[in-house]
Amino acid sequence: MTKFLDELPPREALVEVARDFHARGWMAGTAGNLSARADEAHFWITASGLPKGRLQESDFILIRVADAAVIERGRAELSPSAETAIHAALYELFPDTNACLHGHTVTACVATARTAAKATALRLPPLEMGKGFDVWEQRPRADLALFANHLDVARIARDVRARFKKSRPKIAALLVRDHGPTVWGTSLQQAYNRFEVLDFLLNYLARR
Amino acid sequence: MTKFLDELPPREALVEVARDFHARGWMAGTAGNLSARADEAHFWITASGLPKGRLQESDFILIRVADAAVIERGRAELSPSAETAIHAALYELFPDTNACLHGHTVTACVATARTAAKATALRLPPLEMGKGFDVWEQRPRADLALFANHLDVARIARDVRARFKKSRPKIAALLVRDHGPTVWGTSLQQAYNRFEVLDFLLNYLARR
Amino acid sequence: MTKFLDELPPREALVEVARDFHARGWMAGTAGNLSARADEAHFWITASGLPKGRLQESDFILIRVADAAVIERGRAELSPSAETAIHAALYELFPDTNACLHGHTVTACVATARTAAKATALRLPPLEMGKGFDVWEQRPRADLALFANHLDVARIARDVRARFKKSRPKIAALLVRDHGPTVWGTSLQQAYNRFEVLDFLLNYLARR
Amino acid sequence: MTKFLDELPPREALVEVARDFHARGWMAGTAGNLSARADEAHFWITASGLPKGRLQESDFILIRVADAAVIERGRAELSPSAETAIHAALYELFPDTNACLHGHTVTACVATARTAAKATALRLPPLEMGKGFDVWEQRPRADLALFANHLDVARIARDVRARFKKSRPKIAALLVRDHGPTVWGTSLQQAYNRFEVLDFLLNYLARR
């Protein structure tokens, strides 16, 4: 636990983040997906249906950014989660993104339950913690992009792509209602830090 | 913590799950029982009255599915908990069940305290997390079977047997009011994952 | 963590319990005291003013049950906490008591804040978890003895002694309002288990 | 974890506290700063922008108390956080202060959200736990100094200095609204203990 995450090989670092997030209740069951860019055109992502507290480095799949095609599997029987398409969209839209973390949190679900059903954004509270997303304003009015949940995850991915193509969000994160947050960063350490920051902000909203 | 639970010998895996659940507050005192099928006709279950964070592989009892009779004790002084009858009922009713986990959680008690006293089911919230129980619907209407608590645990076991004989529940779990959840699965890993999923859903209900 | 607590030497076991309780937030700062009977006439108790997550076996004081006098100090500079008098009262009143654990918990303070200011008992909720205190009733009406807090701890000890001399409480625990619970048992493992059980019940009251 | 914090070299001890506070959610992202006095005129403080769960002893900066100037950097690329000025003010105002811990907690933000917007103090609840701040009164009326948050942290430091110059606060801590607590002590262990104590008190206010 002493090296910064980006000093570790990507899959080794993701195994560590997965164990950490699972222990915090952010990846209950087999929920969530974590990915890190392997090179300009590819990223490694956790395979579908595995318990995230017990991953090994062979539990990842290499995905092509351009079309979300599977390029390599750590083990033959692994398959990618439907949410892989959301990761691919983010890596393609934002070339400076090198890691993308998606979890399911009770705090996020409770915070969105208190938001109007049709809202497309969740106003983050004006706490100092907001600086963790590089919001440097006295009383920031920072909005987190909010998306409707769909059984068909490909549809969520299309919604994300359509909306973020028009304008890059100020907060490098999105929230799917009744589902959970996705946070990205220029490094895995940054994405990890910001996932914590977002949970702090949502936990505040849920407890206030 | 790197191997999946079913790659470990059953009692070794149950010791690990017990320590994990205890650390989360799901087996306070000596509460709860964990079991795994040993063969078609038998299952290993934690003995009664032991602190679940400190079990050893000799702290289990081998039970016959057909009549819940004790077949083998890890140590002579061990006795089975009354709740063993509920496990036996589930293994008998659902032959594809290979593990059964029963804990006591504050979230389950708080969530049921908000349910009508005579309710026989608790509607789970329509969160993405519901997919952890293989509910693949846009806005799922998934009900968790709810049972009244009785001092005489054998009566709960009879209620469970009578109700599930008629129809297998869509959600592979049950909740005894003022008591706690029981979750089963085709593997220990699946039952473990789903216990987490159910706690997520009940925690949402308790915090909403 | 695999041996039951009473298989360890008393001070070694108490060091472990102290680290555990501290990690759960039940011994914030230097709060709380843990003790175990050394022989019929004496008990070992944690010294005053030490951080409970970092104790060593030399951080205990041997106290005489009869008058709470200090008999031996692990290190010359150690002094007993004022709350030692409460432990002494319990060991004297209940000769079958072999361990006594006192912590400060937010849940206990929140639960009592919802109780009438003059109440001398807190009705425990009728949850299955109550069996952890050997309450075997269908809908138990179990009361936890509630005491007023006083700056002068000796006065609390006198109140405890006066009340419990008249009748032994059904629940082997007491709660000092705005302060925290004290739980005792015939063994350290039992007292430890029941501290967890009580926290479960109070957490339910605080969250309900 | 067995030695008291002040028995360790200062930076080694701060690395341990940082990992501990991060694990509790008190230093999400890269939030917070921890410092310890090196000698009468200098203190070591965590560098800006680093994830606090992964610090090494080279991740600190030596600061001069008198003017908050950087005297030494563990690594050339490190820079001090703007909040260093608050630490410097406290070390200068209170020469018996040897450690100063600043974190961001959800409980502090929730507790202040329930306080009048213009309040300059937050009344701590009259719990036994208050003794952790050396408040020995029957029903203490202890106030925690409350400061407005400013984007320009230097302004907070000036406010702190101006107010505490006039009178030393009874409670060795301060709270910046929408931001988080800062706690100091005559030793690192004392500051650590009191950070826990303050969180207990604020958690009570947030949950009550």
Three-state DSSP at D65 gives coil
Q: By the 8 A CB rule, do B207 and A110 touch? A: yes
Q: What is the rounded average pLDDT of the residues B158-182?
A: 97
The answer to whether the Cβ–Cβ distance between A129 and D29 falls below 8 Å is yes
- Give the position of tokens 């297998």: B168
How far is CA A60 from each of CA A27, A86, A91, rounded to the nearest angstrom?
Answer: 16, 16, 17
Q: By the 8 A CB rule, do C30 and D132 touch? A: yes
Best of A4, A16, A128, A189 to disrupt the D interface by mutation (most D CBs within 10 Å)? A128
Per-residue pLDDT, A1:
47
Of B51, B56, B180, the CB nearest to C128: B180
Query: Could you state, in chain order, the average pLDDT of each consecutive group of 10 residues for chain C (208 residues)?
Result: 84 97 98 98 97 96 97 96 96 98 97 93 94 86 95 95 96 97 98 98 95
Per-residue pLDDT, C141:
85
Q: By the 8 A CB rule, do A106 and B203 touch? A: yes
Q: What is the rounded average pLDDT of the residues B54-70?
A: 97
Cβ contacts of B166 within 8 Å, gap of 6 or more: none
Helix A10-23, helix A188-207: angle, nearest 10: 10
Per-residue pLDDT, B137:
83
Per-residue pLDDT, A208:
86
| Spatial distance between the Cα atoms of C197 and C130, rounded to a whole number of angstroms | 7
Whether B114 shows a pLDDT value over 50: the answer reads yes
Question: What is the distance, to the nearest Å, from the Cα of residue B54 to the centroid of all Cα atoms in its chain?
Answer: 19
Closest CA–CA distance from residue A40 to any residue of chain B (Å): 30
Query: Which tokens in the block code for residue A192?
Result: 């990890």
- Tell me the helix, strand and coil percentages in chain D, rounded to 5: 40, 20, 40
pTM (2 decimals)? Answer: 0.97
| Spatial distance between the Cα atoms of D17 and D185, rounded to a whole number of angstroms | 14
Of D29, D30, D110, the CB nearest to A207: D110
Q: Could you tell me which chain D residue has the CA closest to the CA of A190?
A: D29
For chain B, percent of residues with pLDDT exceeding 70: 99
pLDDT, tens only, B69-91: 999 999 999 999 989 999 999 99
Confidence of residue B56 (pLDDT cuts 50, 70, 90): very high
Q: Could you tell me which chain A residue has the CA closest to the CA of B202?
A: A106
- Whether B and C touch, i.e. at least 3 CB pairs below 8 A, reads as yes
pLDDT, tens only, A156-178: 999 999 999 999 999 999 999 99
Per-residue pLDDT, A42:
98
Per-residue pLDDT, B10:
96
pLDDT, tens only, B18-42: 999 999 999 999 999 999 999 999 9
Phi and psi of B149, rounded to 5°? -85, 145
- What number of other Cβ atoms are within 10 A of residue D89's Cβ? 22
For chain A, percent of residues with pLDDT exceeding 70: 99
Query: Could you state, in chain order, the average pLDDT of each consecutive group of 10 residues for chain A (208 residues)?
Result: 84 97 98 98 97 96 97 96 96 98 98 93 95 86 95 95 96 97 98 98 95
Tens-digit pLDDT string for chain D (208 aa):
457 999 999 999 999 999 999 999 999 999 999 999 999 999 999 999 999 999 999 999 999 999 999 999 999 999 999 899 999 999 999 999 999 999 999 999 999 999 999 999 999 999 999 999 998 887 778 999 999 999 999 999 999 999 999 999 999 999 999 999 999 999 999 999 999 999 999 999 999 8
**What is the 3 state secondary structure string of chain B?**
CCCCHHHCCHHHHHHHHHHHHHHCCCCCCCCCEEEEEEECCEEEEECCCCCHHHCCCCCEEEEECCCCCEEEECCCCCCCCCCHHHHHHHHHHCCCCCEEEECCCHHHHHHHHCCCCCCCEEECCCCHHHHHHCCCCCCCCCEEEEECCCCCHHHHHHHHHHHHHHCCCCCCEEEECCCEEEEEECCHHHHHHHHHHHHHHHHHHHHC
Best of D101, D192, D200, D205 to disrupt the C interface by mutation (most C CBs within 10 Å)? D200
Q: Could you tell me which chain A residue has the CA closest to the CA of B127?
A: A178
Per-residue pLDDT, C67:
96
Establish whether this prediction's ipTM goes over 0.90: yes
Q: What is the DSSP letter of D14?
A: H
Q: Could you tell me which chain D residue has the CA closest to the CA of C176?
A: D128
- Whether A and D touch, i.e. at least 3 CB pairs below 8 A, reads as yes
The answer to whether the Cβ–Cβ distance between C196 and B28 falls below 8 Å is yes
Q: What is the mean pLDDT of chain B?
A: 95
